[in-house]
A and B are shown apart, each in its own frame.
Chain A
């Protein structure tokens, strides 16, 4: 249980709008409760800024339980903060001490331009999904669910990949700004399942092409993405994506 309230200094990235020049600014936050979440600490700071007629720090967050994928901050240089495999909304202030200076930055990725302060535009990920992250089946056309048996291990592995929340941490952590873990996870999920097999070559080609077109970098086996992924999506998915992509290139009928 919490012992004492304390104070920290938040150094946050402030940027008025897309393409504007940004800067770091420091703010003191007093009365921090160790049981507060990190984002609740920012809420307290923002309420204070509004009361004083200053502009609050914009940041994205919604479910605050690590599943919606909205939030994403770099805290003291760590993507999603210091806790392993969690989102920044799950970080709590008991990880900090009185007098700490905490640096807060947005995802810094060419393909995720800053919209304001800590809010970035991740629509590039949407366009990768639209390129082929689906099974082409119309509503009403499906056979009985149990007419498609799926090997339990494959189903589990597909679920491991499908757990991706689309937060973009993998991209933010990658020195090359690659979106290969994100893309590989979706390609893997659908390639592992019989439902996804008919389109798997087409899907791999289209999604990789879309990923490249958005300006994301390439994988150089840094494993930073796996290290920060809140859902522990594995780099094996990147290897599978590469295999699927190669196979598709060799075997493509087009």
Chain B
């Protein structure tokens, strides 16, 4: 596999401008002759469809939901970063670039991150113009806040629903193109195969989730905007249907998969209440501004929180990280909670949670003030747990939330398969080993609105693309493979529904390859995952038919892909014998137990290549060079 990141030459500040000039252009009258397939309709997908439609391309958008507005971008709460420096507190493109590279623990590509910071301001301008109702000050101008431990106020927000408002903005821009006739939306369709013709991505096979029929869609390029894979852990904050299948299909057809072991665990989620749990709910980490995290000092202390005296409480974040206290970054807060729970100090009915206590803040500021700031989060907590967070401490525990790994892409967002692009959370490029709060929305919209319209044009104008049609034999073959797969899944007459097998997989992934990983646990996972695959083959229960709305069949296909993908994730985690960002290898830490990066050995993106069914995947490396931001150790002591 040849990995050429195609980073433009020249000073970092000029790379994107230079590249935009160097890219070939598609004549305005010719754009309508290009059919562009967009899979997924979140921020990246809807943004791409809108901007490409505006340029005159003929765009087809596929979403597995009944409406493009349901994509999981909708659930993001906190905000979106930009380097506007409206608060006059010292922000700049350079600083956002610096913070993102450092926050990613020096495992992202500098040129991509710089461009992300560069286009961030345009995103805010465009979203305001689209009518996104961002929070404002009394003077009528935009309000900013500090978020996720950032030392300046660069986050724009729309109450606790920023993701929703941005997605509805991008969706509305896309619907305008639907009215204009440049974009056609195919709802309730799931991509099941990528179609390659003469080495280029030329279309997809999609399953109509209502009729079960397989459809062939040919085009000149395919854009995967299909999100992340946190649901490989079964329980995550992702929506129930989020899956890795589109990316996995692409991987099996030759697209490199980069850094799958880079997963982010969010510290402030509502803990699970039992085996029936279908997903976990995140509460904004802004809660850590006023809540104090603690566990009882003594192991197995089952007294209620209120009857544990002050002297017997361990405010472990404040104790271990006096400078940052409860505001340490996500990965550090998450691991510290796990350490306490593993030591038998966890609280709540399952012992799998720690307290987040507002008692002192309420005493200092008054309950009204706390209610005004976090009322909706306290309500949400109450609705789920039936507990009153104003009276008793909340219980929280970390949960998988975001995945930094994804399909490898070059500077143009193209994968190793020509004509196949990956955008948003589906690609790997900008967040390194750890994503900063309020940067996911920024990246999705940057890719969709401001990068792909240029780089896709460059690809189309610079390639000699032969004709491709739905009737080509490549489509027939791919549809045949998809059909055979669904027939095979339906023929299984076992006893376990796919959801149960998914839960088993999630347990293995969470226990052996979760917040902390070591060689022994990863090797155990590599034994257990094939056992689950074996059980999937022999004991799967699906029922129903292929040519109907069959949610169990949909789930079965997704779970099958998760099982295969999980093995790759674990392999990557085993190979990366360093701790960095969200990836914590217990063998690689300081005497105090803090993560230790190994720049000499692992300053690269690990890019996995499919070698065929049943064969071990091949590891390729893209070396990362840090010309501008010199790697340093993160310390929050």
Contacts and interface: CB of A to CB of B under 8 A. Distances in A.
B70 A69 contact: yes
Contacts of B158: 159, 162
Contacts of B50: 139
A86 B276 CA distance: 21
Given A50-B543, A130-B175, A145 B75 contact: no
Interface in B482-538: 495-497, 499-500
A60 B349 contact: no
B159 interface: yes
B175 A139 contact: no
B133 A162 contact: yes
Interface string B537-565: 00001111000110110000000000000
A132 B54 CA distance: 16
Contact of B497 (A47, A61, A119): A47
Contacts, number: 220
Interface string B251-295: 000000000000000000000011011110100000000000000
B179 interface: yes
A51 B495 contact: yes
A64 B137 contact: no
Given A115-B210, A133-B172, A135-B172, A63 B239 contact: yes
Contacts of A129: 171-172, 175
B136 A155 contact: yes
Given A53-B543, A141-B129, A149-B140, A134 B175 contact: yes
B72 A40 contact: no
Interface in B436-467: 449-450, 453
B349 to A, nearest CB: 6
A35 B67 CA distance: 30
A125 B172 CA distance: 13
B240 A62 contact: yes
Nearest to B70: A68
Nearest to A190: B131
B549 A119 contact: yes
A33 B276 contact: yes
Contacts of A70: 65-66, 70
Interface residues of A, number: 82
B79 to A, nearest CB: 14
A236 B127 CA distance: 26
Contacts of B65: 62, 68, 70
Interface in A139-193: 139-146, 148-152, 155, 158-159, 162-163, 165-166, 189-190, 193
Interface in A53-85: 53-56, 58, 60-65, 67-70, 83
11 contacts: A53-B541, A62-B240, A63-B75, A64-B278, A90-B383, A116-B210, A139-B51, A145-B124, A146-B86, A162-B168, A196-B131
Interface of B: 47, 50-51, 54, 65-67, 69-70, 72, 74-75, 84, 86, 122, 124-131, 133-142, 158-159, 161, 164-165, 168, 171-173, 175-176, 178-179, 185, 187, 210, 239-241, 273-274, 276-279, 281, 349, 380, 383-386, 449-450, 453, 495-497, 499-500, 541-544, 548-549, 551-552
